[in-house]
């Protein structure tokens, strides 16, 4: 069984089994997948909700009635996909495929009481895979539940979101996270997400290093005008590291005057969105480095942004 932190309101709702198809939306790391697992254990618990933790079903570490499907970064032929995707054969049966698809799995009877299929990153479902799911959503077997996990309702195919009950998840209040730790650096990095907090606590030295590197990167923006290439490369390394550098970079603007800070944060947000939309990463980093260098230069020359 999995322990869940916070999200009481959402769990009270789920305990009433409000729908067979659910869409869990919210930022990465806040606990959407953990609550989906909790839901599966509750549905299968001998004593119902909340899962008791001691019946035969609750004691299982890997539950046979819980299936999690996630995007694959490789195509069927083994090539690296341009963007990770949930393939049609993960969802629907296909001739020649040895894997059991989600739909086949959901059709069979549960070992305990209910089958729960969780589709992680449901916004990466292609149209064909989405359409295959749709048929199941219209007439689900009585024992079947589907949980789609996505960043937002808008990101998911409208045909799927309109047939699912949306359950929103937000960052947890700091007092919930303080039950785990008083490590201020990790708490700051977490932004209310348990997943982020755990990653930070697992590698405090790496976290400090990433924060230092991001700060140095912002400080270095005003240096050598020929350094754009090196700065782009440094940003790419930061972004590919184990920690999300954006929160550190944003914090490094803290000492800038408000107008400049606002423009810097806008540039940062734009870059994140471009990356999420799979715009070529090198292009995004170069553009961001250029924008921030220009802002930095304006700051130095005392033009408009310094006020
Ligand atoms: Zn139980």
Separation of 109 CA from ligand 1 center, angstroms? 19
Cβ atoms of 42 and 48 closer than 8 Å: yes
Rounded distance from Cα 48 to ligand 1 centre (Å):
7
Distance 88 CA to ligand 1 centre (A): 34
The domain tally of the chain equals: 2
CA gap 270, 273 in Å, rounded: 5
Tell me the residue range of the domain where 78 lies.
Answer: 8-170
Last residue of a domain, one of 120, 147, 170: 170
Instruction: Please give, one letter per residue, the 3-state secondary structure of 244-277.
Output: CCHHHHHHHHHHCCHHHHHHHHHHHHHHHHHHHC
Same domain, 142 and 208: no
Structure token digits, residue 254: 């803290």
DSSP letter string over 136-196?
A: HHHS--TTEEEEEEES-STTS-HHHHTTSEEEE--PPPHHHHTTT---HHHHHHHTT-HHH
Q: Is residue 3 part of a domain?
A: no
d(CA 240, CA 50): 39
> Ligand 1 centroid to 62 CA: how many Å?
14
Tell which residue, 67, 62, 7, 1, has the closest CA to residue 32: 7
Give the contacts of 182 (CB within 8 A, at least 6 positions apart): none
Distance (Å) from CA 49 to ligand 1 centroid: 8
37 Cα to the center of ligand 1, angstroms: 13
* Whether residue 160 is found in the same domain as residue 233: no
CB-based burial of residue 86 (10 Å sphere; 0-12 exposed, 13-18 middle, 19+ buried)?
buried
CA 234 to chain centre: 24
19 CA to centre of ligand 1 in angstroms:
21
Question: In this structure, how many other beta carbons lie within 10 angstroms of the beta carbon of residue 60?
Answer: 16
Q: Are residues 149 and 45 in the same domain?
A: yes
Final residue of a structural domain among 170, 193, 214: 170
Q: Walk along the chain (307 residues) and give the pLDDT tens digit of each residue.
A: 567 888 999 999 999 999 999 999 998 889 999 999 999 999 999 999 999 999 999 999 999 999 999 987 766 666 666 677 888 889 998 887 777 899 999 999 999 999 999 999 999 998 889 999 998 888 899 999 999 999 999 999 999 999 999 999 999 988 888 988 999 999 999 989 988 999 999 999 999 999 999 988 888 887 776 788 888 888 888 888 889 888 888 888 888 888 888 999 999 989 988 887 778 888 999 999 999 988 888 888 876 554 4
CB neighbours of 176 closer than 8 A, spacing ≥ 6?
Answer: 5, 6
Q: Do residues 91 and 28 share a domain?
A: yes
Q: How close is the Cα of 53 to the center of ligand 1, in Å? A: 5
In the listed set 118, 153, 170, which residue is the last one of a domain according to the structure? 170
Q: Give the residue from 165, 132, 166 showing the smallest Cα distance to 152.
A: 166
The pLDDT of residue 244: 87
With respect to residue 185, please indicate whether it lies within any of the assigned structural domains. Answer: no
CATH number of the domain enclosing 128: 3.40.50.300
* Residue 290 located in a structural domain: yes
In a domain, 207, yes or no: yes
pLDDT at residue 241 in the model: 85
Task: For the beta carbon of residue 253, count every other beta carbon within 10 angstroms.
Answer: 19
Expressed in angstroms and rounded, the spacing between residue 16 Cα and the centre of ligand 1 is: 16
Tokens linked to 211: 């924060």
Residue 189, in any domain of the structure: no
CA of 111 to the centre of ligand 1 (A): 14
Span from the CA of 139 to the centroid of ligand 1 (angstroms): 28
pLDDT of residue 307: 47
18 and 131 assigned to the same domain:
yes
Cα of 50 from ligand 1 centre, angstroms:
8
Q: How many CB atoms lie within 10 A of CB 258?
A: 9
pLDDT for residue 164: 96
Same domain, 17 and 131: yes
Cα(131) to centroid of ligand 1, in Å? 35
Distance 175 CA to ligand 1 centre (A): 28
For residues 81 and 74, is the Cβ–Cβ distance under 8 A? Answer: yes
Kindly give the distance from the C-alpha atom of residue 112 to the centroid of ligand 1, in angstroms, as a whole number.
11
Give yes or no: residues 207 and 148 share one domain. no
Q: Is residue 48 domain-resident?
A: yes
Residues with CB under 5 A from ligand 1 (ion): 45, 51-52, 55, 58
> CATH number for the domain including 215?
1.20.272
Cα 122 to middle of ligand 1, angstroms: 29
Residues 34 and 159 in one domain: yes
Same domain for 96 and 235, yes or no, is: no
**Domain check: are 164 and 209 in the same one?**
no
Structural domain includes residue 183: no
């Amino acid at each position: 069984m999995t322990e869940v932190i916070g999200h009481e309101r959402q769990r009270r709702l789920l305990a009433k089994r409000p729908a067979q198809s659910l869409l869990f939306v919210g930022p990465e790391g806040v606990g959407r997948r953990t609550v989906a697992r909790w839901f599966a254990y509750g549905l299968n618990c001998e004593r119902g909700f909340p899962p008791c933790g001691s019946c035969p079903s609750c004691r299982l570490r890997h539950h046979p009635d819980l299936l999690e499907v996630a995007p694959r970064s490789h195509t069927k032929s083994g090539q690296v996909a341009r963007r990770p995707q949930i393939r049609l054969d993960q969802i629907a049966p296909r001739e020649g495929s040895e894997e059991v698809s989600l739909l086949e799995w959901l059709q069979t009877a549960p070992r305990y009481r209910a089958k729960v299929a969780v589709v992680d990153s449901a916004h990466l479902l292609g149209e064909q895979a989405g359409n295959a799911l749709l048929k199941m959503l219209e007439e689900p077997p009585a024992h079947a539940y589907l949980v789609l996990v996505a960043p937002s309702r808008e990101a998911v195919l409208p045909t799927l979101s309109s047939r699912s009950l949306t359950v929103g998840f937000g960052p947890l209040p700091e007092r919930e996270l303080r039950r785990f730790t008083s490590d201020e650096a990790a708490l700051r990095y977490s932004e209310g997400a348990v997943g982020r907090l755990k990653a930070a606590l697992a590698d405090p030295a790496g976290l400090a290093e990433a924060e230092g590197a991001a700060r140095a990167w912002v400080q270095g923006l005003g240096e050598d005008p020929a350094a754009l290439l090196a700065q782009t490369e440094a940003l790419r390394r930061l972004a590919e590291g184990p920690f999300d550098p954006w929160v550190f970079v944003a914090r490094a603007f803290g000492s800038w005057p408000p107008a400049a800070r606002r423009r810097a944060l806008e540039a940062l947000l734009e870059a994140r969105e471009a990356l999420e939309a799979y715009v070529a990463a090198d292009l995004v980093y170069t553009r961001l480095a250029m924008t921030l260098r220009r802002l930095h230069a304006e700051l130095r020359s005392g033009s408009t942004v310094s006020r």
